[in-house]
Structure 1
């Protein structure tokens, strides 16, 4: 069969890479329609995955509307040229529209309860909507699985941290360091939400710096942060994260990545608290691998506590329990795609 993957975000390169390779090994033909956003195409290039660019991300509400039209046309052009049997995406209306118009089945992955607007016009047209088991909404054609997107690429079956890659980049994995990530909060589902304030970013970095080298990845952070940029290319960030003493920031994805790697993870943004996404509630309440705070000062205190005394053994034991409970998400993706066809 022919399978078209719609890759609109850097995290989807990771989510879909192993399933794409497994499907290709089984004799299926694979194509990728990419969105130029952040380091999405850089990651595809680093992975050696061919792709066609369907749209390019802009900035601001008007540019998002313009990109939506660009994406609808761009993805349809790719689909008509490739002729897929199945189109696989995260929550993207353009993907399910293209699938309908070329007579393909559509498989959608969704792990974000707050993304209601895009979901409301995507789920009803999808043939299968895959969500984590704890997902707090029932949606049309839903198939639940016991896992997280991040386990498709950070499960020990798929990923082994490479200490030598860090040493080549000038990082000693035995030395104390922290990874910090700040995001821009300009996605459609982030309207009305916020992460660390400028003052909070400075305080977090300054106080972590008293205990460890601080590496910062940021979108729109204040320019006076006294920290190092990430010393590794985007495709090596998980190696850096795996050996860190602590991760802290307002990113949703990197907080989950740190947690499933067993790295002490602290997350602060206005999603945290009552009604938080099910993934974060489970990682925190059930497994103790993540600490989420709406109050940035409380988050900073916890991150500094971890930097001062990293709870490595405790987190490793908690991660083992997580892995025992969860499925191989990459294998699940393959099964669903083949089943949909």
Structure 2
């Protein structure tokens, strides 16, 4: 079989990387179409995934303007690469996967979550043969929409899949008993981030200063604009493929972005998300709050105080790990499901009995 996968962001690489590996080892021909965005191609190289680049998408205003100018050329590249590859099934989300499936007349599988905005859903839904999303997703996308118990991050952070690197503290340069915190500051450059604001520069500095009194602080600044030389924080500068290993060992993650907060929560690390001006209600994150694995805040003061409280709690790590074991282990291993859907060419009728039991029509989940 020939399987075409779209991985346009680092999160998409993680979503599909184990499935791609298993499919290749089973003798299938897999191609990833991607764009130059953040560390996406770095991750593809690290994991040895077969890919071709169809374009770029930077994080500053000029890059976004250039992207708009180059969009037609990127779509043309996608058409050429898709026709050349001749896939039996296409995986992705949004207009790119829909276009590839349409021009090749190939079954198209969309793996979606509860992101804000309607553009990706509106453009791609009519062209999808199968839509998969977590059961907590709020949207109903029609008769071809099926849900599973879990999160898209379960493709790489499910206990059956994730194996932490025991050398991560050595890589970070922290002692075995040294608490550390990861701070993730969002670039807020994606389409669905328009007009959103996260931590202000003053809040970032204050958070670093206060948390550094109780722990070593590592900062991952997606926008790359924060100067850390005059702060007590260290830049998180390991290869981006190691971020989940670093999260798993951290005492706390604080972020103004949803994906990394969700990932930390699934790893059993206290995960605090600052909403800023984001008023969208994410079904996935609210579910993790109910499970006691994540917390979100709509103002800075309570978030900072709660962070300090967690660092002072010697039982926090054990409590979060118990909740993770009780909750995450019961979720669907999404990699298993993706592999089964791929080998069935996107036809749910051809799924194995375990895969059929793992999903249900969206109408039955409401």
Question: TM-score, length-normalised on structure 1?
Answer: 0.94
Does the alignment pair 1:149 with 2:152?
yes
SS, match of residue 281 in structure 1: helix
| Counterparts of 2:77 and 2:232, CA distance in 1 | 42
Does the alignment pair 1:8 with 2:5?
no
In structure 2, list runs of 5 or more residues that go unmatched: 348-366
Residue 179 of structure 2 is matched in structure 1 by 176
In structure 1, list runs of 5 or more residues that go unmatched: none
- Residue 85 of structure 1 contacts residue 103 of structure 1 at CA under 8 Å; is this kept in 2? no
SS, match of residue 163 in structure 1: coil
Counterpart pick for 1:204 among 188, 199, 207: 207
RMSD, aligned α-carbons: 1.7
Question: TM-score, length-normalised on structure 2?
Answer: 0.88
Indicate the larger mover: 157-166 or 73-82. Answer: 157-166
- Residue 249 of structure 1 contacts residue 267 of structure 1 at CA under 8 Å; is this kept in 2? yes
By how many angstroms is 1:261 displaced?
A: 0.3
Residue 27 of structure 1 is matched in structure 2 by 27
| Counterparts of 1:280 and 1:171, CA distance in 2 | 30
| Counterparts of 2:156 and 2:120, CA distance in 1 | 25
- Residue 115 of structure 2 contacts residue 192 of structure 2 at CA under 8 Å; is this kept in 1? no
SS, match of residue 74 in structure 1: helix
| Counterparts of 1:63 and 1:283, CA distance in 2 | 38
Aligned residues: 338
Residue 235 of structure 1 is matched in structure 2 by 241
SS, match of residue 4 in structure 1: strand
By how many angstroms is 1:256 displaced?
A: 0.7
Does the alignment pair 1:39 with 2:39?
yes
Q: Deviations over 1:52-87 (max 9, x none)?
A: 001101333533423432331222122111110111
| Counterparts of 2:115 and 2:219, CA distance in 1 | 28
Superposition pairs of residues 91-130 of structure 1, within 5 angstroms: 91-130=93-132
- Residue 272 of structure 1 contacts residue 292 of structure 1 at CA under 8 Å; is this kept in 2? no
- Residue 197 of structure 2 contacts residue 278 of structure 2 at CA under 8 Å; is this kept in 1? no
| Counterparts of 1:25 and 1:271, CA distance in 2 | 45
| Counterparts of 1:5 and 1:30, CA distance in 2 | 7
SS, match of residue 213 in structure 2: coil
Does the alignment pair 1:76 with 2:101?
no
Say if 1:139 and 1:95 are closer, same or farther in 2 by CA, change over 3 A: same
SS, match of residue 87 in structure 1: strand
